[in-house]
Chains A and B, each alone.
Chain A
Amino acid sequence: MKKPIIFILLFILKLNGLNAQSICFNPMFGGSKLELNKQYFIVNSTDSIQIETLKFYISNMEFYNTEQLVFKEKNSFHLIDAEDSTTFNLMINLEPNINFNQIKFNIGIDSITNYGGAMGGDLDPTKGMYWTWQNGYINFKIEGKSNLSIAKSNDFVFHLGGYQNEFSTLQTIQLPVQNSQVIPINMAIDKWIYEIDLAKQNHIMSPSKEAVILSNKLSAIFSVTK
């Protein structure tokens, strides 16, 4: 609903010589665009996987020229939902004449924001990314089915979150990029899910050591496409 307003704003900014930067997150599976609810077969096996839900937060987007911070997006919280491809593309208003060769961002919501009370936009608790019995944001949510899972209906559910001390699951990703108007970032979801032994582990729904371990493996799935 907010998107058209953002586009109009960007257009006006552009007329004024400001710099619109697009960063596009592309969830992938087996080398091509992830399709929800599609049955994928694990390479060299008869086991299958399908992804039904993929939602995660990208936050605190920063641009660097070598080691120097040159731009930091304000109020930088973006909920990306595989069901809605319009959420893949983040439009960021850079200041004019900024040169950068690296970007840095978080997967998830930082601890200060987690202590901040009720917030709106992508952080509104109606977005289905908020734990209520022990409050805090879910940073990364993936749900689906696999014959390997022994849970009811072969489901697997991984809600990764937690912001306190040793249960912090926030991940910082740093990627070298080329200074171009559109930066496409691929996320190899298959690579991450193959790290999990679905026969032994089929759900995480609270802050835990397991959530930290799985979150730490997320950074390896991001790559910039040339």
Chain B
Amino acid sequence: MRKRLIAIIALVVAGAMLFASAAPEKSAGKEGPIELKFWSLFTGGDGEFFNAMIDEFNASQDEIHMTNDMVRFDDYYTRLTTALAAGTAPDVIVLHQARLINYVPSGVLLPLDDYVSEEMLSDFQTAPLEACRMDGNLYAIPFDVHPIVMYSNKALLDAAGVTEIPETAEEFLAAAKAVKEATGEWGSLIDNTTGTYKAYTLTRLFVSLVNQQGGSMLTEDLSAAAFNNEYGYNALVGLQMLVNEAGVNPNELDYDAAMNMFKLGEGAFYFNGVWATGTLEQTDGLEFVASPLPPFMGKSAAWTDSHTFAIPVQKNQDPVKVEAAIKFIDWMTENAHLWAKAGNIPTRTSVLEGEEFNALPYRADYAAAVSSVIANPPTAAWGEIYETLSDLLESAVTHNEDPQTALDGMEATVNEIISHY
């Protein structure tokens, strides 16, 4: 009998230990700082700057303590979504603006209007802030804007006698050819093949070029593809021509290789998001210029995305924690010049006009790009469309497919994707 009792007690204790971790956490007590949790998707170059910011935030005050948990980028949204579904998401999360649409309709993000002061909001740039608003409610606060920009290798341009950064498609092609003839290095380094990443650069440029001509990727009601026309045709032919007819861009080039080749001075023009700046400027012996994406096909327009902070809805939302989270977001965006070290463009006027930001090289050169960024289509299907177009453009460019056939295929695929959402 006693043995049995001991066994039962042991079982109960073991069971209690198993489930102890699932017990709701106590809200911050009176003593000690308010504990907040954050999940970051920043790895690699970005991650160092971000972690340094968190440390500095924690050191700057003793009211709030933020714990940062880094998640591998590939798994981030999977983990976040399951955590949101299970109600175990952290106190503050980071989301790409393009992804907001996947979360807002399910009501898992807290509308922030009641918590954020007018004064704070008025400091933000209108375009990135409005992009976080849906049906009149503010669901996130933009931390940065990261459009695609053009990087040029100064030494190669000098060697080829190119004195001006090209502005039009013709000038670009002429400069790329001149570099190739004079130096034997590549004129442009646009990655076009899946490696560690898909050929996203092709999609980013395609979106940019279509918009530069006044077109758009989807129809206004987001119900169908809108790029199977002369805009899409010109954009695609332009991208194909660099690799094939003109031969100034390597074929079967993947993302990592493109970045490495530009670092090694093996190509004159390189296209990537502004996040590459932080890495490029640490490369010894590389002298480069960073400029907003030139208006190759008409007006200025560049693909972009934006990192935003959001607060998940919790089962027992603790107003103290929400307030602390807002303070954290306020501090992070107000000190975004630290984040600009990674290359990103801050979103608050006070930072953009501040000394610290303007003292950084390169950033101020492309900060103007913020005014001509393209908003991501607000549809849950966009994620799949974006990924799928990267595959189709990769095939069209690397195989030099007939542009009209390729566009027809892209249009049909995009329409089919939309029909599933």
Q: Do A and B come from one complex?
A: no
Interface of A toward B, CB cutoff 8 Å: none
Interface of B toward A, CB cutoff 8 Å: none
